[in-house]
Amino acid sequence: MLHRDRLWRLVGKAMALLLALVAIAMLAGYGLLSLLLDRPVVSNPVEGIPPSNKPLINLAPYSGAHPRLLDRVEDPYEYPIPVGEIGPHDHLYAGPPQYPFYCRTEDSHLGQPVVDNQHRIGIPVYKEVNGRKTAQVVGYSKDCLIPTQVTYYYLPEGSDGFKPFTGMRADIANASVNGRKVPFIVRVETGSINRFIYAIAALAPAEEFMAGVVERPDHELWNRRLIYQFRGGVGIGKVQGRLSVEGLLKRRKAQLRGGYAIAYSTANQTSNHYNIWLAEETAARVKRQFIARYGEPEYTVGIGGSGGAIQQYLIAQNLPGLLDAAIPLYSYPDMISQTNYVFDCELLEYYFDVLASNNPAWRDWAMRQRIAGMNSAETEFTMRDVLYDLALLIRQKSPHLASGSNECVKAWRGLTSLVNNPRYLYHAGRYSRGVLEKQHWTYWDDMKYVLGTDQYGFAHQTWDNVGVQYGLEALKVGDINAKEFLHLNANIGSWKPPQQMAPERYWKLGGIGGMAGLINFSPWGQHNMRLSPDKGQTPAPRSEAYLPAIQAAYRSGQVFVGYADIPIIDLRHYLDDELDMHHSFASLSTRLRLLEGQGDASNQLIWMTRRPHEPVVEAFDLIDRWLMNIGKYPDRSVAENRPADAQDRCFDSKGAVIADGVSVWDGDWNGKPAGVCTQHYPFYRESRMVAGAPVTGSVFKCHLQTIENALDRGVYGRVDMRPYRQDLKRIFPQGVCNYEHGDIGRPAGLMRDKSVTRPLGREEHKRG
């Protein structure tokens, strides 16, 4: 063993030297610049920001009433936006507009944005001659606005993709509306609302195109149903987002073929931002534009995956009436409560890989799963594995040699840094160096008007791990012993406060920090961790969240607390065994929150299947029948109007129903024997749940109990931890979590405070 470790140390030193030489060589290669930075090198980066856009010091967190209890300020804009004119861009209640703001109108094939200043704020706009850009800058755009325009597309027979429509032709596929076959031609309206790009699409008769009357679309082929498309991703704001018209049409091809209309905005794609007030406000304004152009729909149904599912749940909770039904795909209850376990990921992986690498147990990925909760598995060898092993070699540790992986590594590596490190940004090339270095690039900063800011101008955070006993369940069942449990908790540590964070050394570099990311490559970001100085003799410090920020997250509707009284079909492919971040247990966490919040979850169905089967068409059909019942019997509840076949369900990859009914998803989460679907598609959990937290996944900051109380109450099961009383007190000087009392950060009477009656959007409401 000693000989092998010495060998790895020598190999590690050699690899570190080789990597440094490779880095120098790469710097000399102009053609490798984009690869090196792993970010676009653009010709028109954001050059400046408004002088008024200064860091906000000691901004108070939101302390008003929950948005579900508040009216919204009246929208003064007179819809529809005329073709050729600019839509509204001043926010109503979503906080002031963010700067910098990177425009993507050209990436969306909509042309350059409108010039709005001559002060080098935003991106440069160039003079065009015969439709081509010259080198002459005519001004700058800070708000990325574009005029409303109308184009037409058609679907060629036998094709999957849409093409621009310029006149009748023989190869146009058919659509079918009420049994009537018509040419599959779609009218698409695009423009900007709230600075983001919106799109509205619906079937159009060829005669409309021929007549050229774009202001007044023909409604003849619309089935009076509107789909609002939401999309996902992990975003931190300050970017407009890209619209792919062809992608939007292809995504909803089946529904367009049947006469549905589609509405969408890049503000409703969470890879661009996670400000739920902004997402909600923009969706409401896009819907007003649609109604002004087409008329009131019979209903509006949402659809979208991941962050697109989060938006549906939170909008249904926060602004009843905007959506009449929802089809969340690959859902989570919300984004902010995901950070509770996601920020544990790299702390745990660094512990397994480096701090406790002498313990052979952690070479077993199944053992890691006992602590991290999320699934792990043997995996195929990839380039990421090469880089992972390289990082271990640099630290003179033996490599894993592609032994396996888990959801933390495969799904969240790099994204953790994006969400939490103010000095990491994977698309840094879109901003000038001066702009880049003055901004805080985090999920938290994206919500600073909700969470508030500290004395340094950094947004407050909600992540807290004080009192969390990592691996508690593994200790109780005998997977780890008392000394391993204590060593883990003494060394796990936490993350440095934002003002102390340094640029990442992740292999993607991120553009901030230069060559340090390559020469000192580290996938874990341990230089931004608060670790023990002496291998656990002095326990590594834990992070304590700012309590008013947690309260603000609840009060502002960023947390899904279980109110969404509309028909919902929560639909996903089973991806747990692929180590995908969209783990199936999230659907059950949402169901539990519905049961806790509104006392009933019979308006939510959970459907799960395997690729390539996709029962989206069936979901739309069921939602349609369900909403028709509600329209026919308005005095009945949503649950009472459920069609008889509206049941929880699981399918196989070919679409055959494995089982359906009220008990198919039963299991440990609700204290019942495992149902048929649960047995077929087993669930995993996450690090806080296997440390004792409730399966709702909604505890940001736990109530604490003394070590003596924990020992007396049998927190450690049959394991006698009394001989380790002093070790526990040293590691947990404030006590350990008592999850029976819920979240200390959740405001009392959250959904009952009706004392504030003026609309959301007044300054006194936003700031409490």
Are 736 and 710 in contact by the 8 Å Cβ rule? The answer is: yes
Question: Residue 506 to residues 413, 439, 510, 521, 641: CA-CA distances in angstroms?
Answer: 9, 20, 8, 6, 52
CA proximity to 422, closest of 437, 435, 438, 441: 441
Instruction: Taking residues 248-269, report their average pLDDT.
Output: 97
Q: Indicate the DSSP class of residue 40.
A: -
Q: What is the per-residue pLDDT for 759?
A: 59
- For the stretch 510-523, pLDDT in tens is 445 555 555 567 88
C-alpha torsion angle, residues 733, 739, 744, 745 (rounded to 10): 110
- For the stretch 63-78, pLDDT in tens is 999 999 999 999 999 9
Residue 291 has pLDDT above 50, yes or no: yes
Coil, strand or helix at 287? helix
Q: What is the per-residue pLDDT for 239?
A: 96
Identify residue 206 by its one-letter amino acid code: A
3-state secondary structure 627-651: HHHHHHCCCCCCCCCCCCCCCCEEE
Q: What is the per-residue pLDDT for 382?
A: 65
Rounded distance, CA 62 to CA 450, Å?
5
Burial environment of residue 181 by CB neighbours within 10 A (0 to 12, 13 to 18, 19 or more): exposed
Residue 745 has pLDDT above 60, yes or no: yes
The shares of helix, strand and coil residues in the chain, as percent rounded to the nearest 5, are 35, 15, 50
Rounded distance, CA 242 to CA 693, Å?
39
Q: What is the per-residue pLDDT for 19?
A: 52
Which has the minimum average pLDDT: 78-82, 325-329, 403-407, 513-517? 513-517
- Whether the bond into 673 is cis, omega within 30 of 0: no
Q: What is the per-residue pLDDT for 384?
A: 64
- For the stretch 453-465, pLDDT in tens is 999 999 999 999 9
Query: In the chain, what's the furthest Cα-to-Cα distance?
Result: 87
Instruction: Taking residues 390-411, report their average pLDDT.
Output: 74
- Cβ neighbours of residue 280 closer than 8 Å, sequence gap 6 or more: 67, 94, 311, 314, 315, 318, 319, 322
Tokens 């929150």 appear where?
A: 593
* Other residues' Cβ atoms within 10 Å of the Cβ of residue 713: 11
| Domain map (residue ranges) of the chain | 79-97+146-318, 339-549+700-743
Q: Where are the beta strands (DSSP E) in 42-193?
A: 123-129, 132-141, 149-154, 163-164, 174-177, 180-183, 185-193
Residue 180 has pLDDT above 90, yes or no: no
C-alpha torsion angle, residues 574, 579, 582, 583 (rounded to 10): 70
- For the stretch 644-656, pLDDT in tens is 999 999 999 999 9
- Is this model's pTM higher than 0.75 or not? yes
Tokens 């995901």 appear where?
A: 338
Q: Indicate the DSSP class of residue 59.
A: P
Residue 39 has pLDDT above 60, yes or no: no
Quote the mean pLDDT of the chain: 89
Are 268 and 232 in contact by the 8 Å Cβ rule? The answer is: no
How would residue 531 be classed by pLDDT, with cut points 50, 70 and 90?
very high
- For the stretch 134-162, pLDDT in tens is 999 999 999 999 999 999 999 999 888 99
Q: How many residues does the chain have?
A: 768
- For the stretch 372-396, pLDDT in tens is 999 988 776 666 666 667 766 766 6
